[in-house]
Structure 1
Amino acid sequence: MAGLQREAGDVVGGYRVLGRLGSGGSGSVYRVVDEGGDEAALKLVDAREDEVAAARLAREVRALQSLRHPAVPHILDAELDEDETFVVFEIVAGETLFDHVRHHGPFTGDALAAFAERTASALEAVHAAGVVHRDVTPSNVMIGPDGPVLIDFGLAHRTEDARLTREGLVSGTPGYVAPEVIDGAEPGAQADRWSWAATVAFAMTGQAPFGSGTGAISRTLETDVTLPDLPGAAVLRAALGRDVNARPGMRDVVAALSGATEVMPAIAPTAVAPVAQAWAEHDAATAPTTVLPSGEHAVDHGFHEADEDPFDGVFDDHEHVHDEHDELEEEPTPPPRRRMLLVLAAVVVVAAAPLAPFVAFLVMVGFAIIARGVQRRALAIGAAVVRRGRRRTSDTVVQTIGLPWHVLRAAVETIPAALTAAAVGVGVAVGARWLVVETDALGSSDEGRYFGTALALALGALAAIIVMAYGPFMRTTRDGAHRLAAAVSPTGGLTAAWTLVAMTATLVAGIGIYVQVDAWWWPLSGIPGG
């Protein structure tokens, strides 16, 4: 933990400590009083022990000094040149969004729209000042008498600043870190807007949209989010999508939450929310009644020991992709697309189905299980990085040893899609065989019946493959298939070699069908039904 420990009565830079409000990854926060008797919040960092935390504190001061917005706290004082550096904020009465929702329930109607608009306006002001917040979460939004306030800029940085990381790591809160940042992209305004949408979703539902802890990472990457059927939920869900270019803007979300039929025009960052009256009505009914300086509800600026899963998740820095000492698979980055190889693999299965239908199906299911297990391994490595930071090759070794467990879990998860694929494949094959064979569409000779059966089996295999690829809960399997294909074809030469193998196997199967080789119905003794 960054920052020295202080007790009540200690003096820091002329401020007397009344008590500790909380602590986090970038410092400790204390409730203090100045010589005039005014209370404030003081964030303290020991620069001698943590140069990165001290540099982040200086960055925070620069960021907030350049902002003038009612939903962003003001800096009252700062000392950045001593070993013991600190910054003094105006203290915010109230409680965090997380605590507010826990005590009073989710926001609804105009109050939810007012919350979304005021926080969107604050974030617009942050971005207009050239600053990226990087940790917009329910624990970093205070609900005060005048409405929500965006706090804790300990992770913030100006867009022109160099990245500050510890051993190539960047911080964030799992479940509120945009998928592109998990994948290794540079945190930016788009990532802030995604985190804002996740925070608005929490205000709407009272639950973290992707859960908390390390499991939130895989759910974020899989876009596994469920929102109630409320006004604006569809647009909010789209704002939490993985495709950056397909996400609606914050004002689109605010407009949808307000029940507007068209996108609201952008509002200047310093403008007062036009639905402030709705917020005032909501606050009068539900806001905490205690007012400073009594301090009963005096809250720190984002460091809560009892907050919803408040640990900082640590993600791989994008620059490590190019570090020759790191293994690429340590990051759950999207694998290179190998669509052509996967299509060719599907063609081989389709071509082999008339010769060995059950074997072809089992090969397809086996490939899906292994692919899903490989993707599970990659996600597990990413989760390990979140918990402990990058351990070079150790996490890769541990998760590789644990690959059988990942494969076993993948096998269980694949059962619904496999059963659905089998049912659809058999149905299509039986239906096609009846249309082609029983109606003598290709003639009544043995040759016609053979080719009719072969065509029906091929169509059934194709249907099964489509269901297997896009069936229940198969997004992880598709990502794993690309990852597995990329692993066996890391170079253009190997890609060409596998292409040649697939084409050769397809040709051999085609020749076998052409010369009317009898189908191998293992584990059955012959074609079902005669």
Structure 2
Amino acid sequence: MAGPQREPGDLIGGYRVLARLGTGGSGSVYRVQSPDGQVAALKLVDARDDEVAVERLRREVRALQSLRHPAVPHILDAELDEDETFVVFELIDGDTLFDFIQREGPLAGDALADFAERTASALEAVHAAGVIHRDVTPSNIMMGSDGPVLIDFGLSHRATDNRLTREGLVSGTPGYVAPEVIDGAEPGTLADRWSWAATVAYAMTAQAPFGAGTGAISRTLEADVRLPDAPGAAALHAALGRDISGRPGMRDVVASLRGATEAIPYGLPATVVAPAGYVLEDDAERTAVLPSGESPVAPAPYVPEGSPVPWSTGADTWMDEDDVEEAPEPAPRRRTLLLLAAILAVVAAPIAPFVAFGVVLAVWIIARGVFRRGVAIDAATARRGERRTSDTVVHTLGLPWHTLRAAAETVPAALAAAVLGGGAAVGGWWLVSAGVAAPTTAVGQYYGHAAALALGCLVGIVMLAWGPYMSGSREGAHRLAAALSPSSGLRGTWAVVLVVGILVAVLALYVKVDIWWWPLPGMPGAG
């Protein structure tokens, strides 16, 4: 880790330690004074203890040396070849965003929009230099006298670098790690933007949007975030969603925070908001210009989000967007299989209504148990920093406990499904029996009553899927379906099985089989 701690008065490479500013996973940071009296910040890593941390520090230096942006600290000195490696950078006086918000309260109005715009601009410059930050959090933004500054690139890596994360470890701060990264995807620019949105949400509410600790992992995967009714909240909520394709860009969020729009349809051109430190010359040519007039070391042309982005390697050449890894994919989706399963349940409901709904409810509880198992494994990984086979085994053996907890969590949605679905079935049955919704003939009554039971089951399924606290259950349903159909061949086999089941149920309705009311002895209310 950071090696032996230094005390005030100690020397590090000629710099005198004045105070320790903090210690983290990638090193210790000190307030130091140079031989000529300049006060700066020095980040120290003991190369003998952690080669990974040292390589991260080298990457941090490369990243910062290639950037010239008012919201990114400048490198003053570095020593990277000794046992004790360190980097000296300009000291940003002020508090972290976390401490600032805890003391002053949440940001609002122009102050919030200005904060979001400046930090978005810094992150765009970082990405334009080919760097992924990987740890954008309220603790890694300093509120300086000139505005917020993005710090601590200890977890950053260039797009062409290999990941330094040890196998199975999800690096980052719980609650500020994008859900696709928790699911195992490679961190990228989209994950950084998600973390930025979570940080802006903290600045808006003075609370971690997904809570803290391992519980934040579950809430992140469920997209369980509540924001106040304020300008930009809708766009910010969308930017924190699980669906990557449905997330608005950072510029769209900034524009929404300024009250430009409340709804940002996906697919429309992004609202152009000039980042701090950049000047738009005209529509044909956009040039990056620093407030001081200096030319940046690595020019970062301003490009609207969604357009092809020139990714800088820090050299004089540019990489095309196609040379950069693709955006991380979401968890496997099995929408077709789940839709066919729902249709089978709806068609089977007129034959055995209580059995059909009971099977749906049981499968839904198991799906949430599968989701809970995945969350528990992710939490164990976050705590211990390494995914062990024993974690998977333990939580697989603990699936009954996860399922029991899932059953308790499903109660609100199950009650809503039973009440609304049962109400729809009873109401439809009564309208059919009264001759209002179907003919009074035997055939009309049979199919009318069948339609009422099918409608009730459909309403129940919808309430289970989109009822209170059920986003995690939907994710678990996809995980369960993916586990049962990991290959295209098995997906096809399951699809055939479900289609055959639907056809058998339709045939049973065609020949007008009697309704099976089990576990009740007969139709409720009859006799």
TM-score normalised over the length of structure 1? 0.83
Distance change in 2, residues 1:165/1:455 (3 Å): closer
- Counterpart check, 1:522 vs 2:518: yes
C-alpha distance 443-127 of structure 1, shift in aligned 2 (>3 A): closer
Alignment of 1:80-479 (within 5 A): 80-167=80-167, 169-260=169-260, 265-267=272-274, 270-271=277-278, 335-439=331-435, 444=440, 446=442, 448-479=444-475
The aligned counterpart of 1:304 is none
Counterparts of 2:8 and 2:389, CA distance in 1: 45
Per the alignment, residue 305 of structure 2 pairs with: none
Deviation of 1:138 (Å): 0.6
The letter of the residue matching 2:158 is R
Which residue is 1:276 aligned to? none
Change in CA separation of 1:354 and 1:498 when aligned onto 2, cut-off 3 Å: same
Q: 1:398 to 1:334 in 2, by over 3 A?
A: farther
Please say if 1:2 is aligned against 2:9: no
How many angstroms apart in 1 are the aligned matches of 2:447 and 2:279? 74
For 2:401 and 2:168, locate their aligned partners in 1 and report how far apart those are by CA, in whole Å.
Answer: 30
Cα offset, 1:170, TM superposition: 4.8
- Stretches (4+) displaced over 4 A: 261-264, 440-448
Deviations 1:208-234 (A, max 9, x none): 111111221222222211111112222
Deviation at 1:28, TM superposition (A): 1.1
Distance 1:191 1:491, change over 3 A: closer
RMSD, aligned α-carbons: 2.6
Distance 1:264 1:479 in 2: 32
Pairwise CA distance, 1:389? 2.2
Alpha-carbon contact 1:334-1:479 (below 8 Å) kept: no
Contact 2:344–2:502, Cα closer than 8 Å, also in 1: yes
- Preserved contact between residue 221 and residue 242 of structure 1 (Cα < 8 Å): yes
Aligned residue in 1 for 2:11: 11
Which deviates more, 21-30 or 154-163? 154-163
1:20 matched to 2:20: yes
Q: Secondary structure at the match of 1:49?
A: coil
Kindly indicate whether the alpha-carbon contact (under 8 Å) linking 1:346 and 1:465 is maintained by their aligned counterparts in 2.
yes
In structure 2, distance between residues paired with 1:269 and 1:109: 17
Verify the 8 A CA contact 1:175 1:212 in the aligned structure 2.
yes
Distance 1:264 1:342 in 2: 37
Aligned residue for 1:16, secondary structure, equals strand
> For residues 267 and 499 of structure 1, do their structure 2 counterparts lie closer, same or farther at Cα, with a shift above 3 Å needed?
closer
The answer for the alignment partner of 2:311 in structure 1 is: none
Unpaired runs of at least 5, structure 2: 263-269, 281-324
Matched, 1:79 2:86: no
Task: State how far apart, in whole Å, the 2-side matches of 1:135 and 1:367 are.
Answer: 37
Which one of 479, 484, 500 corresponds to residue 480 of structure 2?
Answer: 484
Report the Cα distance in structure 1 between the residues aligned to 2:182 and 2:448, rounded to whole angstroms: 50
Whether the 8 Å CA contact 1:180–1:242 is kept in 2: the answer is yes
How far the C-alpha of 1:105 sits from its partner, in A, is 0.9
Q: What is the CA distance between 1:502 and its match in structure 2? A: 3.0
Q: Secondary structure at the match of 2:31?
A: strand
Give the Å deviation of 1:334. Answer: 5.1
Return the alpha-carbon distance in structure 2 between the equivalents of residues 22 and 182 of structure 1.
27
Distance 2:247 2:513 in 1: 53
Q: Quick one: structure 1 residues 418 and 110, their matched pair in 2 at CA, closer, same or farther if it must change by over 3 Å? A: same
Larger RCO of the pair (alpha carbons < 8 Å, separation 6+):
1
- TM-superposed CA distance for 1:445, in Å, is 5.0
SS at match of 1:92: coil
CA distance in 1, matches of 2:456, 2:91: 67
Query: Aligned-pair distance for 1:253?
Result: 2.1
Distance (Å, rounded) in 2 between the aligned partners of 1:442 and 1:69: 71
Deviations 1:74-104 (A, max 9, x none): 2111101111111112222111111111111
Shift of 1:122: 1.9
* Alignment gaps of 5+ in structure 1: 274-317, 322-332
Q: Is the 8 A contact 2:170 2:381 kept in 1?
A: no
Counterpart CA distance in 1 for 2:179 and 2:103 is 30
Compute the displacement of 1:163 (Å): 2.3
> Are the aligned partners of 2:46 and 2:54 in contact in 1 as well (CA < 8 Å)?
yes
Q: How many residue pairs end up in the alignment?
A: 474
Instruction: Report the Cα distance in structure 2 between the residues aligned to 1:42 and 1:361, rounded to whole angstroms.
Output: 63
> TM-score when scaled to structure 2?
0.83
Change (3 A) 1:508 1:272: closer
Aligned residues with identical type, % of pairs: 69
CA deviation map 1:329-369 (0-9, x unaligned): xxxx9543223322332233223322322122111111110
Moved more, 121-130 or 501-510: 501-510
Give the letter for the 2:3 counterpart: G
Q: Residues 502 and 248 from structure 1, CA distance in 2 versus in 1: closer, same or farther, beyond 3 angstroms?
A: closer
